[in-house]
Amino acid sequence: MDNIIVTPRSLSKGNDPLLNRIKAAGYNLVFPSPGNQPTEAELEEVIGDAVGYIAGVEPISAAVLEKARRLKVISRNGTGIDNIDAEAARKKNITIRKADGANARGVAELAMGLIFAAARNIVSSDRSLKSGTWTREKGFELEGKTLGIIGCGKIGQMVSRFALGFGMDVLAYDAFPNPDFHPSGNFRFEPLRTILENSDIVSLHCPPMPDKRPLIGAAEIAAMKHGAIIVNTARQSLVDEEALREALDSGSLHCYAIDAFDKEPPDDLSLARHERVIVTPHIGGFTEESTRRASEAAIDNLLESLQGV
């Protein structure tokens, strides 16, 4: 029986009934690190004989792919594929598939939750009261405020609709804006600089820059409104964290909320401990509904690539 590697933490404990479809198709399931993100060494140990790979967010390097003798397809149970060395995969004729849109609702709802938490100081109020201190920090309401969306694909569009429902104005930037997306007269596409200068809250929903440099650095933060909020459910590398820390310390930024990290769990939590930072452990797509949709799509894509069904 040909081997299929399964690494997403939502599937790799091996007891999900969805995996029965792969078994029924005649494949053997291999779990290099059940319930945990596998290391490069663990992947290298099992990838040699595998023909398929249902992948999570773990890095899949050229060194790992070099050891893949029979691998035909890597099927992500999410939309991001920047954790995979695409050039190394191309050289070995390995197809990369992704579960487009499967986790959009979960990520979009979390982004809105983080926006509310930041605007109303929910996390800091919780910490303060639990420590025995009754401190009330005045927040602000969303109606009439401007939300800047950077990356207006499926997730960004959904966040836009949510925000419009709360009476916000929405400005969106996308490298390839969809001309058919115009949900309201209070929505419009604008250049990135215009969004930074005019938004009370900026929410990131775009892939990392090709050269991994930050999209939001010191100059971009300086262009933002005093007391603005940045919500990042996309990629840690999109924001220059040193410039961010300085802006939080000075008060020019009110709050930063982040859900996605370059390494998970992150080694450095110093920024996460900042009183003006809200952190969540990559739970955007980690809902019952999103994980099921993503798993179903990943399995569909895997079997389609291997068997054409």
Enzyme catalytic residues: 235, 264, 282
Q: Find where tokens 């961010």 sit.
A: 244
Question: Residue 156 and residue 173: Cα distance in Å, rounded?
Answer: 10
Contacts of 206 (CB under 8 A, 6+ apart): 150, 151, 156, 174, 175, 215, 234, 238
The CB density around residue 218, as the number of other CB atoms within 10 Å, is 14
Distances (CA, A) of 256 to 31, 99, 182: 36, 28, 28
- What are the strands, taking DSSP E only, across the chain? 2-6, 27-30, 50-55, 73-76, 95-97, 146-150, 169-173, 187-189, 201-204, 228-232, 253-258, 277-279
If DSSP codes are grouped into helix, strand and coil, which group holds residue 145?
Answer: coil
